[in-house]
């Protein structure tokens, strides 16, 4: 089971204050950023800040991720080497932005393996998260998901993608003006989601940059949560609760899912009659029902929900 990533907080590696704040927030993942949120001249100091923060700890229960710069920049190698050599034992994943091909993921995998081996760490323990932020990456998304056993997550990067396809909008995460026939991002999101699910990975939606528009964030999160995405980036503490709520089941749905699992387990057992399709109240349930219920139940358990109903044969 991959680690929960409902709320994925991105903080600049150059800001010690924001890193300290990240430790206190109820997020599932903290992304210490060396890429877009970190100016070129600030990157060397940001690497030092990130290494110190990871080694200091305080991220209990959170997935610890560092977003390095993409392979088309001059900073990728030094980002990976400095961070993993300095704090590899306290790092869960490296995030590769602007991935355009499976080969770029393989290159990161090989570099990580060399560093882990040289430092005496378990080879392959550090995962890879991949951002899909351009058309080439979307066309190669299935190959990217398959490129390494380290790949844990596929992430939609809306801002760069919008720029890459010349989308007529400056509001990241909202529908472009004039597009009134559906969701302009639907094909992109479903392509990422299908590749993730086909390869056993998590799918994460990107940020909503209007950080004070919490209702706008809720709308954006609700769309991808409905599709089946596992979580979304947050850029501000005000977005955290909305993300955790959007990607967690409602209490009534969680209770219903657990009841389906219990009922199906009972009725398919010898004691329950070993039947394959049974009734739960007015609802017929079968093996397909069990699979659907398991998805909701697992998400509810990961969110810390507790049952308020019990099954009685």
Q: How would you classify the pairing of strands 278-280 and 283-285?
A: antiparallel
With cut-offs at 50, 70 and 90, classify the pLDDT of residue 1.
Answer: very low
Mean pLDDT over 195-221 rounds to: 96
Give the mean model confidence (pLDDT) for residues 162-166.
95
Region 194-206 average pLDDT? 97
Outline where the chain has alpha helix (H).
16-24, 43-56, 76-87, 102-119, 135-139, 141-146, 158-164, 186-198, 214-227, 240-246, 251-268, 287-302
Q: Which two tokens stand for residue 148?
A: 């390494």
Cβ atoms 198, 142 nearer than 8 A: yes
Residue with tokens 């959007």, as numbered in its chain: 246
Q: What residues form DSSP beta bridges with 29?
A: 8, 63
pLDDT at 277 over 80: no
Q: Could you tell me the pLDDT band of residue 281, with boundaries at 50, 70 and 90?
A: confident
Mean pLDDT of 182-199: 96
Q: Write out pLDDT tens, residues 50-69.
A: 999 999 999 999 999 999 99
Q: Which of 264, 292, 290 is nearest to 278 (CA)?
A: 264
Q: What is the pLDDT of residues 285-297, one digit of tens each?
A: 889 989 999 989 9
Q: Residue 154: which H helix or E strand, with range?
A: strand 151-156
Q: For residue 88, give the DSSP letter.
A: G
Alpha-carbon span 245 to 234, nearest angstrom: 13
pLDDT at 3 over 80: no
Which tokens in the block code for residue 144? 């990217």
Find the mean pLDDT for residues 22-39: 95
3-class DSSP state for residue 239?
helix
DSSP 206: -
Mean pLDDT of 74-86: 98
- What pairing do the DSSP bridges indicate for beta strands 93-96 and 151-156? unpaired
pLDDT of residue 18: 94
pLDDT digits (tens, 9 = 90+) for 228-263: 999 999 999 999 999 999 999 889 989 999 998 888
């Amino acid at each position: 089971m991959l680690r929960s990533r409902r709320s994925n907080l991105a903080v600049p590696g150059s800001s010690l204050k924001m890193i300290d704040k990240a430790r206190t927030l109820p997020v599932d993942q903290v992304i210490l950023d060396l890429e877009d949120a970190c100016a070129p001249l600030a990157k060397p100091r940001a690497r030092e800040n990130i290494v110190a923060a990871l080694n200091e700890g305080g991220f209990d229960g959170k997935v610890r991720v560092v977003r390095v710069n993409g392979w088309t920049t001059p900073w990728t190698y030094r980002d990976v080497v400095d961070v993993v050599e300095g704090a590899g034992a306290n790092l869960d994943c490296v995030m590769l932005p602007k991935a355009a091909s499976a080969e770029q993921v393989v290159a990161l995998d090989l570099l990580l393996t060399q560093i882990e081996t040289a430092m005496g760490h378990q080879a392959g323990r550090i995962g890879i998260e991949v951002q899909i932020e351009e058309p080439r990456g979307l066309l190669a998304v299935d190959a990217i998901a398959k490129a390494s056993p380290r790949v844990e997550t596929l992430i939609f990067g809306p801002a760069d993608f919008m720029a890459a396809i010349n989308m007529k909008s400056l509001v990241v995460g909202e529908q472009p003006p004039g597009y009134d026939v559906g969701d302009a991002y639907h094909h992109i999101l479903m392509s990422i989601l299908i590749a993730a699910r086909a390869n056993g990975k998590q799918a994460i939606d990107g940020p909503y940059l209007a950080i004070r528009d919490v209702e706008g964030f809720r709308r954006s999160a609700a769309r991808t949560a409905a599709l089946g995405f596992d979580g979304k980036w947050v850029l501000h503490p005000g977005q955290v609760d909305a993300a955790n709520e959007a990607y967690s089941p409602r209490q009534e749905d969680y209770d219903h899912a657990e009841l389906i699992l219990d009922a199906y387990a009972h009725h398919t057992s010898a004691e329950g009659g070993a039947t394959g399709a049974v009734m739960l109240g007015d609802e017929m349930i079968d093996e397909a029902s069990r699979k659907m219920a398991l998805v909701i139940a697992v998400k509810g358990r990961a969110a810390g929900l507790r049952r308020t109903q019990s099954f009685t044969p």
